[in-house]
């Protein structure tokens, strides 16, 4: 009973958050109006203000709610001890690509960029709770491999640059050129991910096992 009620209450809130996230993705922050938001939610504008004190708070809730679920996946990653070093980084790539390209919070990055000047606190929060945590998990995985001698020692600032750069840009490009009818041939996620992983493994000093060249011993 109490559960039903709770579900009902939070589902309304979640419903608004989902619609708002989609709207912010489509039209940006300033381009999204509370009137439009109310319309797609099927409620009156005033009712929005019953659930959220203002537009800015609503946006912050979208971001917070978004990375809450995203970062959990990352923490699971590091904890898994059944994988060897290369398997671990492969799993990490799968996870990072999925989060950045498919999850709301990853896709919201350009919108956060839009408001970063007028709401610098949101940018700070986003960096601390999303960017920095992603970097920390990657750094843990790599440094563990370095200690075991699997990888060469790394400049981690450069490594983050090389790992996150292509992923974030791919996500941005896919948002930016979403209107292209040949989006997946322009930006084929799996192919780019595989090439990217291969390059990073090379950079880490791991012989690339995927090497397609038939090289007779």
Contact between 172 and DNA by CB under 7 A: the answer reads no
How many other C-beta atoms can be found within 10 angstroms of the C-beta atom of residue 62? Answer: 25
Question: 46 or 217: whose CB is closer to DNA?
Answer: 46
Q: Which is nearer to DNA, 4 or 210 (by Cβ)?
A: 4
Rg (CA), the chain: 20
Binding of DNA at residue 44 (CB under 7 A)? Answer: yes
Q: Which does 51 bind (CB under 5 to 8 A by kind): DNA, its own copies, none?
A: DNA
1 binds, among its own copies, DNA, none (CB under 5 to 8 A by kind): DNA
Q: Are 64 and 14 in contact (CB under 8 A)?
A: no
Of 164, 188, 169, 191, residue with least CA distance to 92: 164
Query: Any contact of residue 49 with DNA (CB under 7 A)?
Result: yes
Handedness of CA 96, 99, 105, 110 (dihedral sign): positive
Q: Which of 28, 51, 133, 206 binds DNA (CB under 7 A)?
A: 51
Q: What is the DSSP letter of 5?
A: H
The residues that touch DNA, with contacts defined as CB under 7 A, are 1, 5, 9, 12, 32-36, 42-51, 53-56
């Amino acid at each position: 009973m109490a559960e039903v009620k709770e579900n009902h209450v939070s589902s309304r809130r979640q419903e608004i958050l989902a619609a708002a996230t989609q709207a912010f993705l489509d039209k940006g922050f300033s381009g999204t109006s509370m009137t439009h938001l109310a319309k797609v939610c099927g409620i009156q504008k005033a009712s929005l203000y019953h659930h959220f004190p203002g537009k800015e708070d609503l946006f912050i809730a979208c971001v917070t709610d978004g990375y809450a679920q995203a970062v959990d996946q990352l923490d699971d990653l590091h904890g898994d001890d059944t994988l060897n070093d290369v398997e671990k980084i492969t799993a990490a790539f799968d996870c990072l690509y999925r989060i950045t390209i498919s999850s709301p919070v990853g896709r919201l990055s350009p919108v956060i960029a839009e408001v970063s000047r007028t709401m610098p606190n949101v940018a700070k929060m986003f960096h601390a709770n999303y960017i920095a945590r992603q970097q920390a998990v990657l750094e843990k995985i790599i440094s563990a491999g370095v200690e075991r001698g699997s990888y060469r020692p790394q400049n981690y600032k450069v490594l983050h640059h090389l790992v996150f750069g292509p992923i974030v840009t791919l996500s941005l490009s896919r948002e930016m050129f979403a209107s292209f009818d040949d989006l997946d041939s322009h930006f084929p996620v799996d192919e780019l991910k595989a090439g990217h992983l291969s390059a990073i493994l090379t950079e880490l000093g791991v012989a690339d096992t995927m090497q397609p060249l038939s090289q007779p011993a």
